[in-house]
Chains A and B, each alone.
Chain A
């Protein structure tokens, strides 16, 4: 196996952004496709609005959410593309390992 035909480029910022339970739970809330304000996203958590805002900005930096001003408040929505991209990157690496392990199997079982 070698690193062959590149899929989408590296998923590091996406994985780094996902590597936090609070951010994952915010994304899960937004994953129904609806837009929500910071107030709404903070409502049933123990987090302050400032903390939620900080986490939303990390997610936004990784492209996982988008924000839009509605009146005086910002509303946040989930963006699926970076996850799809990160997933296809891992899938490709995973498939290459499958391939390599198959060759190893043939090699040692001969």
Chain B
């Protein structure tokens, strides 16, 4: 069982417009806030520099998995790769998928990120903070997450 984040959003723009915003490296970089050095090509790594204020020292890197025109764009990357001193390439990545479907008013976009259960032990070695109360509720929530 793999843990997974999934989000759906209705966009008032045609599928071909959304597809371009997702898969054209320059357009992707504008809304995602990263300056990419090259295009997205299945099987290849795309690198860039994050342009989000305060995080410009970080490199962005993803490996394109699938580009099924106007239907599916997916890549793998390393979640929370925010420590420049860590070589995240040694860790198993998560999979990010964008699925597009045309609707009467535009595009339904479904985003998912999965594979969090494959991250290695040493990523959680920070001291745990106590969380008093509400844990039974949290448990139900996490159960819903992992069973989704």
Nearest Cβ on chain A to B6's Cβ, whole angstroms: 9
Bound Cα distance A75, B37 (Å) = 56
Are A84 and B131 in touch, CB under 8 angstroms?
Answer: yes
Are B126 and A8 in touch, CB under 8 angstroms?
Answer: yes
Chain A interfacial residues counted at CB < 8 A:
47
Chain B, 1-51, CB within 8 A of any chain A CB: 1-3, 5, 7, 9, 11-13, 17-18, 21-22, 27, 30-34, 50
Check: B121 CB closer than 8 A to any chain A CB. Answer: yes
Are B7 and A108 in touch, CB under 8 angstroms?
Answer: no
What is the predominant secondary structure among interface residues of chain B facing chain A? mixed
Chain B residues whose CB sits within 8 angstroms of the CB of A39 once the complex forms: none
Chain B residues whose CB sits within 8 angstroms of the CB of A98 once the complex forms: 7
Nearest Cβ on chain A to B60's Cβ, whole angstroms: 7
The interface of chain B, by Cβ under 8 A from chain A, is 1-3, 5, 7, 9, 11-13, 17-18, 21-22, 27, 30-34, 50, 52, 55, 58, 60, 79-82, 109, 111, 113, 116-121, 123-126, 128-131, 135-136, 138-139, 141-143, 145-146
